[in-house]
Structures are given as structure tokens and as C-alpha cells.
């Protein structure tokens, strides 16, 4: 394909740029895909309407020329994108029921339920944990420079992961806690149910980055091509073709546990993004098929809970350690597995 005459990109400089991308469409990978559809599937947090608006306003160039959203992507096309970023909304207080398990003048520890987003972002400006915390603390949360939507947030867990988070009330506490996370001195233990029978103990090491084929998910990449990540696990129980694990994080990357366990062939039970929402091991017929169908309905998310959190208090210097029980949905699945598949000994396995 001969490149068309290049037209300079006319960006609206008064609009902050969210992200710039440049890529070439691989040979033989796409057939009859519209430009807006292709970009939406490639760029994280991009909606089709947002992409169409960017194309119309001249933020997308194909082979050096502007194309319409309906343009059919061709192998070898060189696409340049600069998506405009709307001004961030300041997080606003909202009344909600929160499970606060510890609080003092410097920080609080909250037990987040599954389904609750930690902080506002594109597509979730309201109804997040931060909105509830702002109401609960009367906006007495730490603030990071140039950050209006994540006050108090030192670390995060996924929307559909339940468990413990420490939240800073003061800038001093925020800095001290962040340093502990950076230096890997914070104790973090998760409980997870994964497919397959794992080793009794194991460590998964692998750089994590966004997938090149689907920017909405993460994947393990070659060393140096992503962020260094280390996950340790200990097997606690085995049920048929499933394992209950204690998982200890050495680093804290996006989707780290989910990505690492899927990478070694043990995706989390119920994980729709990384392949755990189907029967991965053992037969899938008869009563067993119905059993797992019922379990997926009971737990329509990944079987992952942030159970233990330990850190040094930034004010007193005292070691603080908190534990939380498994949430109802995860406990229901675990109880059913225990009744149906009593834990096996090593000889039985």
C-alpha cells in the first residue's frame, strides 16, 4: 500500500493529551475492521464514542492522512493516535456503608467489598471507595500534588477483589506508607482459589505489561519489557482439580496475582478476564458441570481476597497487622468445595 500524502496532525494544545500511540497493523491479523473499532480494542479505557470524536477532531492519522471512522483497517497501516484527556473531575463525598476496621488521626484501614472501585477514573467518576471515604472523614484525606481523584489512596486492589486497604489521612502518613510499599516491607497476604493442583510452595517471577493485542489486559513479557513482579504462594488445601492458596506479594503490579497464576497454568477460579470462568481441569459433564455452573453463579468474580495487611505505623513506629475473614460469596464456594471434594492427602493426589 502506497502511503497517502502526509497531513500534519493539528492537535488542540489547550486540551491535555491523555496518551499518544504509534503502531503498525500486523499482516493477516485483521479483516474488515473499522478504524474506530480497531482503536477501541487496542487502547486502554477507550470507548468507541470517544475514539470517533478523536478521529473527527483530527487526533488520528493513518499512513500520514486523516481517515473517517468507517475506514477499513488494512495490514501494514501505520496509525498515530493522540487521545484528548478531559479535565479530571474532583472526587466528591458520597454517603455509603463502609467497613472501617481501624482508624486514628493518621490513617484508617478499610475492608473493601468486591464490586467497589477504589477511586474515580474514566467511566467511574462516582460511587467509588474514595467518594465514600471523603464523606466518612469529612474530606480529611491526604492529597498528593496535582491529584484530585485519589485522595488518601496509597495502594489499590481490583474492583472485583475484596479485602484490606490502608488509607492515609495526612500527607506525612501518605509519604511514609508509600515508602514502605516501595521498599517492599509491607506484609500483604491474599487467599485465592485457583484451577489445578499447584506445587506446595512456589514463586512466580515475570515482568508484567499491557498486552499488545488487547490493551485492557496485562500479560507476562520478556525481562526488561515490563515492570518487575514477584509473587509467592503456599498451597493450603486441594479440592478435586482446585487449590486454595495463601499468596504473598513482593511487588504490587496491576492484576499481578491474576496474571502470574494464569501464566503458570493456574488461573483464578471465576476470573473472566484471564480464563478462570470455565472448567479448566477435570471433566465438564453431568453433576460436575452443574456443580461448577452453580459455583460460578455464587461467585461471579475472581476468587481473590486481600486477607492480611501489615505495616509500620507512620506516627508511632508500631507494627500494625490486620486480618479479615473471607467474604460471604467466597466462603460459600469454599464450603461447597469442602463438602463435595474433601481435602485429599498427598498419597491420594
Q: pLDDT value at position 7?
A: 34
Overall fold of domain 187-340 = Pseudouridine synthase (3.30.2350)
**pLDDT of the residue at 65:** 85
CA distance 345 to 155: 38
**Rounded Cα–Cα distance for residues 158 and 273 (Å):** 12
Q: Could you tell me the CA-to-CA distances from 133 to 87, 104, 130, 166, 312 in Å, in that order? A: 22, 14, 5, 12, 22
C-alpha cell at 117: 472501585
Residue 11 has a pLDDT of: 35
The better pLDDT of the pair 143, 18 is held by 143
Q: Specify the range with the lowest mean pLDDT, choosing from 34-43, 138-147, 250-259, 321-330.
A: 138-147
162-168/304-312 β-pairing: parallel
Q: For residue 18, is pLDDT > 70?
A: no
Percent of the chain with pLDDT over 90: 64
**Whole-angstrom distance, CA of residue 332 vs CA of residue 251:** 30
Residue 328 has pLDDT above 90, yes or no: yes
Residue 222 has pLDDT above 60, yes or no: yes
Between residues 331 and 23, the one the model is more confident about: 331
Query: What are the pLDDT digits (tens) for 133-192?
Result: 999 999 999 987 556 678 999 999 999 999 999 999 999 999 999 999 999 999 999 999
Question: Terminal CA-to-CA distance of the chain, rounded, Å?
Answer: 58
Domains 100-182 and 187-340 share a fold: yes
The pLDDT value recorded for residue 150 is: 87
Residues 6+ apart with CB under 8 A from 289: 279, 283
pLDDT of residue 20: 73
Going by pLDDT thresholds of 50, 70 and 90, the confidence category of residue 125 is: confident
Q: Evaluate if residue 29 carries a pLDDT over 70.
A: no
Which string of DSSP letters, residue by residue, matches 59-104? -EEETTB---TTPBP-TT-EEEEEEE-PPPPPP--------EEEE-
Interval 104-122 mean pLDDT: 93
Output the pLDDT for position 48: 87
Over 90: is that where the pLDDT of 107 sits? yes
What torsion, rounded to 10 degrees, do the Cα atoms 298, 325, 276, 218 define?
Answer: 130
Query: Which of 21-25, 75-79, 237-241 has the highest average model confidence (pLDDT)?
Result: 237-241
Q: Cell digits for 130?
A: 474514595
Query: How many residues does the structure list for the chain?
Result: 349
Q: In this structure, is the dihedral angle defined by the CA atoms of residues 129, 134, 136 and 141, taken in order, positive or negative?
A: positive
Give per-residue pLDDT as tens, 261-300. 999 999 999 999 999 999 999 999 999 999 999 999 999 9
Q: How do strand 17-24 and strand 60-62 relate by DSSP bridges?
A: unpaired
Q: Are 231 and 238 in contact (CB under 8 A)?
A: no
Q: Provide the angle, in degrees to the nearest 10, between the axes of the packed helices 286-298 and 328-340.
A: 160
Q: What is the pLDDT of residue 5?
A: 35
Pick the CATH number of 100-182 from 3.40.50.2000, 3.40.50.300, 3.30.2350.10, 1.10.357.10: 3.30.2350.10
Q: Which CATH number, 3.40.630.30, 1.10.230.10, 3.10.290.10, 3.90.1150.10, labels domain 17-84?
A: 3.10.290.10
Residues recognised as catalytic: 158
Nearest-CA neighbor of 268 among 299, 303, 216?
A: 303
Q: What is the pLDDT of residue 30?
A: 59
In this model, does residue 74 exceed pLDDT 70? yes
Torsion over CA: 148, 152, 158, 161 (sign)? negative
What is the bridge-based pairing of β-strands 60-62 and 78-84? Answer: antiparallel
In angstroms, rounded to a whole number, what is the distance separating the alpha carbons of residues 257 and 269? Answer: 12
Q: Give residue limits of the domains in the chain.
A: 17-84, 100-182, 187-340
Which of 47-51, 99-103, 237-241, 304-308 shows the lowest per-residue confidence on average (mean pLDDT)?
47-51
- Rounded average pLDDT over 76-98: 81
CA distance 150 to 143: 8
Amino acid at each position: 500500500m502506497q502511503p497517502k500524502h502526509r497531513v500534519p496532525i493539528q492537535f488542540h494544545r489547550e486540551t491535555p493529551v491523555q496518551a499518544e500511540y504509534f503502531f503498525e497493523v500486523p499482516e493477516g491479523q485483521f479483516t474488515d475492521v473499522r478504524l474506530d473499532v480497531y482503536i477501541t480494542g487496542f487502547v486502554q479505557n477507550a470507548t468507541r464514542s470517544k475514539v470517533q470524536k478523536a478521529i473527527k477532531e483530527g487526533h488520528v492519522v493513518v499512513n500520514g492522512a486523516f481517515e473517517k471512522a468507517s475506514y477499513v483497517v488494512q495490514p501494514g497501516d501505520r496509525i498515530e493516535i493522540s487521545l484528548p484527556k478531559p479535565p479530571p473531575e474532583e472526587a466528591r463525598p458520597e454517603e455509603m456503608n463502609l467497613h472501617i476496621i481501624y482508624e486514628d488521626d493518621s490513617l484508617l484501614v478499610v475492608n473493601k467489598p468486591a464490586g467497589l472501585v477504589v477511586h474515580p477514573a474514566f467511566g467511574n467518576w462516582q460511587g467509588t471507595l474514595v467518594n465514600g471515604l471523603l464523606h466518612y472523614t469529612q474530606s480529611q484525606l491526604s492529597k498528593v500534588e496535582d491529584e484530585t481523584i485519589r485522595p488518601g489512596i496509597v495502594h489499590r486492589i481490583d474492583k472485583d477483589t475484596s479485602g484490606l486497604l490502608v488509607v492515609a489521612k495526612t500527607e506525612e502518613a501518605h509519604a511514609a506508607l508509600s515508602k514502605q510499599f516501595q521498599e517492599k516491607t509491607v506484609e500483604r497476604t491474599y487467599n485465592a482459589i485457583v484451577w489445578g493442583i499447584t506445587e506446595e510452595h512456589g514463586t512466580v517471577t515475570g515482568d508484567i505489561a499491557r498486552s499488545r493485542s488487547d490493551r485492557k489486559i496485562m500479560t507476562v513479557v520478556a525481562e526488561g519489557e515490563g515492570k518487575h513482579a514477584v509473587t509467592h504462594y503456599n498451597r493450603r488445601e486441594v479440592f478435586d482439580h482446585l487449590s486454595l492458596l495463601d499468596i504473598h506479594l513482593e511487588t504490587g503490579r496491576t492484576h499481578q496475582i491474576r496474571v502470574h497464576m494464569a501464566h503458570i497454568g493456574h488461573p483464578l477460579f471465576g476470573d473472566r478476564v484471564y480464563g478462570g470462568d470455565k472448567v479448566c481441569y477435570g471433566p465438564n459433564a453431568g453433576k460436575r458441570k452443574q456443580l461448577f455452573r452453580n459455583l460460578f453463579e455464587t461467585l461471579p468474580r475472581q476468587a481473590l481476597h486481600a486477607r492480611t495487611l501489615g505495616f509500620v505505623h507512620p506516627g508511632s513506629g508500631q507494627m500494625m497487622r490486620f486480618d479479615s475473614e473471607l467474604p460471604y460469596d467466597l466462603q460459600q464456594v469454599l464450603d461447597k468445595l469442602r463438602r463435595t471434594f474433601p481435602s485429599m492427602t498427598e498419597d491420594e493426589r
